[in-house]
Amino acid sequence: MREGEDVLIRAIRLTVWSVSLCLALMVGLLMVIVVPPQSRAIYDQRILPESNSNWMAPDSTAIPETPEGDLIRYGRELVAHTSVYLGPSGTIRPLSNGMNCQNCHLKAGKKTWGNNYAAVAATYPKFRARSGSVETVERRVNDCLERSLNGEALESGSRELSAFVAYIQWVGKDVPNQTTPEGSGIVDLPLLPVAANPQIGEVTYQRRCARCHGQDGAGVKKDAEEWLYPPLWGPESFNTAAGLYRLSRMAGFVKMNMPNDVGADSVQLSDEEAWNVAAFINTQPRPQKFFSGDWPDLSTKPFDYPFGPYADAFTETQHKLGPFAPIVSAKAKR
């Protein structure tokens, strides 16, 4: 009788072990099907980059009550409400597409990882490969007006251009010369091992972005002059020469700042979602603008610059959407 009980117990244990093994294999199989191997490592990266920065934007209430302070305050006003002064119905002159500088440089250029101005005063004038020349802050401001705001450059010596420069330099006034604090500009995301997918990105866009920017990406107006939520594509958005038209710039900007009702310590999109939604946004129609003098040395073109010619044999499509790792690797070997 005892021997029969032992056989029965062993049979039950074997059955339990077999069921457990089957369940484990099924879970593993589902992981393979649901999350492709090449995506698994980045599928749920919602952790912020480590930062040892102690940079904080200066308090605007501390701008001095002096003529110089007045110019800084005017510059802040121009950054925050560009369209009021320089938009299609601008009180100074009609110069831009109606977006505000702070639509891309969040919180008037003072938000961590929000395409801020932290390092501008400390690093300009500097050589920029895009123009192949040493550029001033004035040149950088006009670049943004012509590209991101799809407009025209301000005249050298104009009060508006001087005000932009005074404010931008004030924002970065406490940053040591030739240094770039963590949290400056736009974060660099890990590269996807595959091409970014606009179709998958559209799903994320409609689920997470359309509530503010509209299903058609046309944005929402606050009033006759300014956008509450700016257009992400279409005739009133940034043009193809803008920095955010590079996929890595748009993906990093989206990752750290969108949806825009979250803080810099509470990102909501994974890296993969950010790359894909950036691909969707940047494959939509927008104003076309090209500068023939851009990237005079082809070897210095960024891996994600979407227009040829290139110093390598990769296609324009791969430079636009990826995968980017082979491009970066080939460039490092040259």
299 domain-assigned:
no
282 domain-assigned:
yes
Looking at the fold, whether 167 and 208 belong to one and the same domain comes out as no
Residue 205, amino acid: Y
Q: Is residue 285 within 8 Å of residue 234, measured between CB atoms? A: yes
Q: Is residue 266 within 8 Å of residue 258, measured between CB atoms? A: no
- Cα dihedral 311, 312, 316, 322 sign: negative
Looking at the fold, whether 202 and 287 belong to one and the same domain comes out as yes
Looking at the fold, whether 65 and 124 belong to one and the same domain comes out as yes
Q: Determine the Cα–Cα distance for residues 240 and 260; give it in Å rounded to an integer.
A: 23
Looking at the fold, whether 205 and 166 belong to one and the same domain comes out as no
Domain-terminating residue out of 171, 189, 209: 171
Domain count, the chain: 2
Q: Digits of tens for pLDDT over the chain (334 positions)?
A: 444 445 444 544 444 444 443 443 343 333 333 333 333 333 344 444 444 456 899 999 999 999 999 999 999 999 999 999 999 999 999 999 999 999 999 999 999 999 999 999 999 999 999 999 999 999 999 999 999 999 999 999 999 999 999 999 999 999 999 999 999 999 999 999 999 999 999 999 999 999 999 999 999 999 999 999 999 999 999 999 999 999 999 999 999 999 987 655 678 899 999 999 999 999 999 999 999 999 999 999 999 999 999 999 999 999 999 999 999 999 999 8
Looking at the fold, whether 99 and 163 belong to one and the same domain comes out as yes
Q: Radius of gyration (Cα) for the chain, nearest Å?
A: 25
Q: Determine the Cα–Cα distance for residues 178 and 180; give it in Å rounded to an integer.
A: 7
Looking at the fold, whether 224 and 140 belong to one and the same domain comes out as no
119 domain-assigned:
yes
Q: Determine the Cα–Cα distance for residues 148 and 72; give it in Å rounded to an integer.
A: 22
- Helices assigned H by DSSP within the chain: 2-34, 37-40, 67-80, 82-86, 106-109, 120-123, 137-147, 159-171, 198-204, 210-213, 247-257, 271-282, 316-321, 325-333
Burial 55-93 (b: 16+ CB within 10 A, else e): bebeeeeebeeeeeeebbbbbbebbbbbbbbbbeebeee
39 domain-assigned:
no
Looking at the fold, whether 227 and 148 belong to one and the same domain comes out as no
Q: What range defines the domain where residue 160 resides? A: 60-171
Looking at the fold, whether 167 and 205 belong to one and the same domain comes out as no
29 domain-assigned:
no
Partnered with residue 135 across adjacent β-strands are 126
141 domain-assigned:
yes
Looking at the fold, whether 116 and 156 belong to one and the same domain comes out as yes
Looking at the fold, whether 208 and 287 belong to one and the same domain comes out as yes
Structure tokens of 312?
Answer: 């390598």
pLDDT value of position 50: 46
203 domain-assigned:
yes
297 domain-assigned:
no
DSSP secondary structure code for residue 205 in this structure? I
Looking at the fold, whether 69 and 138 belong to one and the same domain comes out as yes
Looking at the fold, whether 78 and 153 belong to one and the same domain comes out as yes
* Residue 284, domain CATH: 1.10.760.10
